[in-house]
Amino acid sequence: MKITAIKVIVASPGRNFVTVKIMTDQGLYGIGDATVNGREMAVVAYLQEHVIPILIGKDAARIEDIWQYLYKGAYWRRGPITMAAISGVDIALWDIKAKAANMPLYQILGGASRDKVMIYQHVGGLTIEQTVEGVIAKREAGHVAIRAQVSIPGLPPIYGTGPSTDQAAGGMVQALPVEEVWSTHKYLPLVPKLFQKLRDAVGWDVHLLHDTHHRLTPIETARLGKDLEPYRLFWLEDPVPAELQESFRLIRQHTTTPIAVGEVFNTIWDCQQLISEQLIDYIRVTSVHAGGVTGLRRIFDFAAIYHVRSACHGPMDVSPVAMGANVHVDRWLPNFGIQEYSGYTEATHEMFPHSWQQEGGFLVTGEAIGHGVDIDEKVAARHPYKAAYLPVARAEDGTMWSW
């Protein structure tokens, strides 16, 4: 089955998405997600200039060989742009393979290990009271796992706690990134207070999560992890930038609060030490950034040996196509942990008709063949690309901060 053409579709139905559509000489096509939030057009150029021309005429059935050809063959390995391009192609090729087999993707991966996959959604508030109210509402809507964030009193809202930075609300569409203000000193004592109030309000029969967006040092994380132990979090996410994987040893020596890392990782090498030394509990790689279904399968199988579970990244900027690939992997994967699902705008659902569905606090794959997600190109044409950035963070004295 030969690849005859590959299209790259860029559209913004509330968020910018880069979608790869691979056509074959047998009439089957597949679609993949290649979005990198805030750097979308770099992936488009990489695909158009360096990937598409070398794939025309190749056998679409040889997924592994094409993955290796794009990874090893480029000489310049890894990195978010290269790996998003590989991911887009890989997800589309798995879609084609499952369609050719006339099966849903989870079936060709090995069949279902579960019927539905647990998700978590986000609640943010400007105050602890607002966050508590939001968590109660999610709980009442049937959610069994909820991520809770709160603004730092006296500082402007930070990412995930106020409406200002959401592209769907217009916040991210501007010439320059929003500059947020960060204070570790004010943040550290605040978070245990939030979770104490949350446990008082919603009890213990719900999973509570928290995301630190890479802003702490290992010893600060150790302190926070200890202070949060009484509230039994499902996890503390991205406490420290993970470039220095061994720095997580220090965190592990001090706290039993579970740790989740990896939404910015692209390959198994980014998490090899974190996993093999059992320094984390959940690995957050996602199909669109870590090499597609092929990349995820390799990382998650490796993680299984070390009791590390999956937790695919799934914010609004991971498109419904990658979400479809993730949910099929989640359904098959023996060491599945949880799936992030932030939801999408109505226009996004319309642009990507999908067989996966939300049922309360869970996602189900549906039984459509392939990964079950398509793209309506007429709808896409109505939502042109708009340059948009994630915010950046600075300390109160102006120093650039990680996030």
Among 281, 317, 330, 374, binds ligand KDG (CB under 6 A): 317
Q: Say how many residues make up the chain.
A: 403
Other Cβ atoms less than 10 A from the Cβ of 403: the count is 18
Catalytic site includes residue 210:
no
213 annotated active-site:
yes
Question: Exactly one of 37, 121, 255, 267 binds ligand KDG (CB under 6 A); which one?
Answer: 37
Considering the complex, state which of residue 90 and residue 263 has its C-beta at the smaller distance from Mg ion. Answer: 263
Q: How far is the CB of 294 from Mg ion (least distance, A)?
A: 23
Of residues 21 and 214, the one with the C-beta less far from ligand KDG: 214
Which of ligand KDG, Mg ion, none sits in contact with 317, Cβ below 5 to 8 A by type? ligand KDG
Phi–psi pair at 388, nearest 5 degrees: -150, 150
User: What minimum distance in Å lies between the beta carbon of 164 and ligand KDG?
Assistant: 14
CA distance 263 to 280: 13
Are 360 and 142 a contacting pair, CB within 8 Å?
Answer: yes
Q: Of the listed 46, 106, 120, 159, which one is catalytic? A: 159
Q: In this structure, is the dihedral angle defined by the CA atoms of residues 59, 64, 65 and 70, taken in order, positive or negative?
A: positive
Over the window 121 to 160, marking each residue x when it contacts ligand KDG by CB under 6 A and - when it does not, the resulting string is ----------------------------------------
Inter-CA distances, 84 with 40, 178, 266, Å: 10, 25, 8
- In the complex with ligand KDG, which residue's Cβ is closer, 136 or 390? 390
What is the nearest approach in angstroms of ligand KDG to the Cβ of residue 121?
A: 10
**Residue 211 binding Mg ion, by CB under 5 A:** yes
SS3 at position 5: strand
3-state secondary structure 232-294: CCCEEECCCCCCCHHHHHHHHHHCCCCEEECCCCCCHHHCHHHHHCCCCCEECCCCCCCCHHH
Q: Which of 171, 315, 343, 353 binds ligand KDG (CB under 6 A)?
A: 315
Out of 197, 340, 355, 369, the only residue in the binding site for ligand KDG (CB under 6 A) is 340
The residues, any chain, with a CB within 8 Å of residue 63's CB and separated by 6 or more, are: 90, 93, 94, 97, 294
Q: Which does 215 bind (CB under 5 to 8 A by kind): ligand KDG, Mg ion, none?
A: none
In which residue are the tokens 């480029």 written?
A: 74
Only one of the segments 100-108, 129-137, 287-295, 310-318 lies at the binding site for ligand KDG (rule: CB under 6 A); that segment is: 310-318
3-state secondary structure of 215: coil
In the sheet that holds 17-24, the strands lie side by side as 3-11, 17-24, 29-33
Cβ nearer to Mg ion, comparing 40 with 263: 263
Task: Kindly tell me which residue out of 33, 90, 180, 211 binds ligand KDG, with binding defined by CB under 6 A.
Answer: 211
Can you give the C-alpha Rg of the chain in angstroms?
A: 21
List residues with catalytic annotation: 159, 213
Instruction: List residues near ligand KDG by CB under 6 A.
Output: 37, 211, 213, 263, 313, 315, 317, 340, 390
Instruction: List residues near Mg ion by CB under 5 A.
Output: 211, 263
